[in-house]
Structure 1
Amino acid sequence: MTLALPGLDPVTDRPVFKQIADHLRDAIEQRKLEPGAKVPSEAKLMAHYGVARMTIRNALQVLQAEGLTVAEHGRGVFVRSRPQVRRLASDRFARRHREQGKAAFIAETEGVGGRPSVDSIQISETEPPADVAQRLGLGERDKVLVRSRRYLINGHPVETATSYLPASIASGTRIAEPDTGPGGIYERLEEMGYPLDHFDEEVRSRMPMRDEAKALKLAPGTPVFHLVRTAYAEDGTAVEVCDTVMSSDAYVLSYQLPAR
């Protein structure tokens, strides 16, 4: 084997397949196996450790369940390769990005050398969910414009987002078109007379729903960040609620908090 792996510990009570998983995990974390690299084949691992194929498969399944590797049919098992975007909360919605014609996702992704794209765009007008109506301060008969989309980095999905905007503000505007133009939704809102003042965000971690795991092509055992953001204009009007589901292995959530 090209990769130097330790041997099994004969005196420990840790199961053999978990020892093997530990060795491979260490190699990944120490970047002896780089992102995108092929993990040694089952045959090579069997020969190195002197164990049965099922033991090796159990070890590899541990790594896949942890989101560290991905199996490709007919090709083998590879170290999961995704650029991690550092999502800096204090900077991502800075006006200077919009003035450069870049929405937050584009600015962040290009910052790590990734290629951003968006697909699965759907636009509709409907009655809002109760929690969204409350956040937007809408009445019982008020409707919202709904924009749902999926974000990708280098062609791989990393995030889904659904924005809810008061129909009284967004209906019939460019926000209701598939391509909202340079700077995205927030630049259009400011052009329409809603200069943005601040955003409130709530973030929690959970396991994905089945449709979320499918949309983001998540490996088994990979959690998601579920983030709900409300955007406020300078006059205190809530102008958007964005419900976002993010693959946890694609993002680092970074915050700067004042000490006083």
Structure 2
Amino acid sequence: MPDLPLERIDPDSDRAAFRQIADHLRTLIQRGTLQPGDRVPSEARLMEHYGVARMTVRQALQVLRSEGLVVAEHGRGVFVRERPRVRRLASDRFARGHRARGKATFIAEVEESGSKPTVDTVEVTEEEADADVAERLGLQAGARVIVRRRRYLIDGRPAETAVSYLPAQIAAGTAIARPDSGPGGIYARLEELGHHLARFTEEVRSRMPLQEEARALRLPAGVPVFHLIRTAYDTTGRPVEVCDTVMSSDAHVLQYELPAQ
């Protein structure tokens, strides 16, 4: 296998042979020697190089699959997983300038990264707020809220899902309650309604996806998600939106700029 700088198995190591093979291939992926979309050497070539049985090679590849680094395509082989990344800049992602240009936040970020953003699912309903959402919005439990559910794609691949909750007394009967809320998204519509946005709070944690989340984001085994809950406040201090977002962790880089005070 002269085209790839693979090491040899260390027979004196207490680390199992399949794990050593997985380590070697992982290093090639992390260093960029094997690029996203590249085919991993076939089982036969790995068996020949390492002098191991097919089962040992398959165990090594399964380790990489469980880590979300490779995907198997039936009849074609195993490939390094393509992972387009969007840099999510907390310092300016809600800048009013994006809305002035008619760009919702996700659209602006993805386009800035050089990728193509799309939204393939938009569902709008009016529901009763559950206890958590009601508390975050400063409403009574059971108050009516407009709920917007979306799925966002980057270059045709699912990257995140988001569910926004807005008080019905603000959003009902407005463009916010329509699937297409118009240029600049719901934040532009809120400001047109007189709710000028002043600040946002976000809670972010990493976890493994629920079954329905993995299915919606088409995540292979081993890939965690970022679970982010954001609350938007207007200049009066009133919370006007809660957004519950689940993001594929390997499609996003979260970047924060914090002042030193």
Q: Secondary structure at the match of 2:158?
A: strand
Asked whether 1:75 is paired with 2:76, we answer yes
Q: Secondary structure at the match of 2:250?
A: coil
TM-score under structure 2 length normalisation: 0.97
Q: Secondary structure at the match of 1:249?
A: helix
Aligned residues: 260
1:201 aligned residue: 202
Following superposition, the deviation at residue 4 of structure 1 comes to: 2.6
The two structures, once aligned, show a CA RMSD in angstroms of 1.0
1:22 aligned residue: 23
Following superposition, the deviation at residue 140 of structure 1 comes to: 3.7
Name the aligned partner's letter for residue 39 of structure 1: V
Alpha carbons 2:130, 2:141 under 8 Å: kept: no
Alpha carbons 2:204, 2:227 under 8 Å: kept: yes
Question: How do 1:177-256 residues align onto structure 2 when only pairs under 5 Å count?
Answer: 177-256=178-257
Q: Distance in 1 between matches of 2:20 and 2:99?
A: 50
Following superposition, the deviation at residue 119 of structure 1 comes to: 1.5
Q: Secondary structure at the match of 2:40?
A: coil
Q: Distance in 1 between matches of 2:130 and 2:40?
A: 46
Name the aligned partner's letter for residue 149 of structure 2: S
Q: Distance in 1 between matches of 2:41 and 2:115?
A: 28
Name the aligned partner's letter for residue 198 of structure 1: R
Q: Distance in 2 between matches of 1:256 and 1:42?
A: 45
Deviations 1:27-85 (A, max 9, x none): 00111101111111111111111111111111001111111111112221111112111
Aligned identity (percent) is: 66
2:163 aligned residue: 162
Higher mean alpha-carbon deviation, 17-26 vs 99-108, is at 99-108
Name the aligned partner's letter for residue 147 of structure 2: V
Q: For structure 2, which runs of at least 5 residues remain unmatched after alignment?
A: none
Alpha carbons 1:206, 1:225 under 8 Å: kept: yes
1:64 aligned residue: 65
Following superposition, the deviation at residue 13 of structure 1 comes to: 1.1
Deviations 1:146-170 (A, max 9, x none): 0001110011001000000001111
1:96 aligned residue: 97
Name the aligned partner's letter for residue 123 of structure 1: V
1:189/1:8 Cα in 2 relative to 1: closer, same or farther (>3 Å)? same
Name the aligned partner's letter for residue 173 of structure 1: T
Q: Distance in 2 between matches of 1:240 and 1:109?
A: 22
2:12 aligned residue: 11
Name the aligned partner's letter for residue 53 of structure 2: A
Q: Secondary structure at the match of 1:101?
A: coil
Q: Distance in 2 between matches of 1:173 and 1:41?
A: 57
Higher mean alpha-carbon deviation, 77-86 vs 240-249, is at 77-86
TM-score under structure 1 length normalisation: 0.98
Alpha carbons 1:83, 1:112 under 8 Å: kept: no
1:62/1:141 Cα in 2 relative to 1: closer, same or farther (>3 Å)? closer
Q: Distance in 1 between matches of 2:120 and 2:132?
A: 26
Q: Distance in 1 between matches of 2:105 and 2:73?
A: 32
Alpha carbons 2:131, 2:141 under 8 Å: kept: no
Q: Secondary structure at the match of 1:119?
A: strand
Asked whether 1:151 is paired with 2:152, we answer yes
Following superposition, the deviation at residue 142 of structure 1 comes to: 2.0
1:109 aligned residue: 110
1:235/1:58 Cα in 2 relative to 1: closer, same or farther (>3 Å)? same
Deviations 1:197-228 (A, max 9, x none): 00010001111100001100111011111000
Following superposition, the deviation at residue 141 of structure 1 comes to: 4.8
1:50 aligned residue: 51
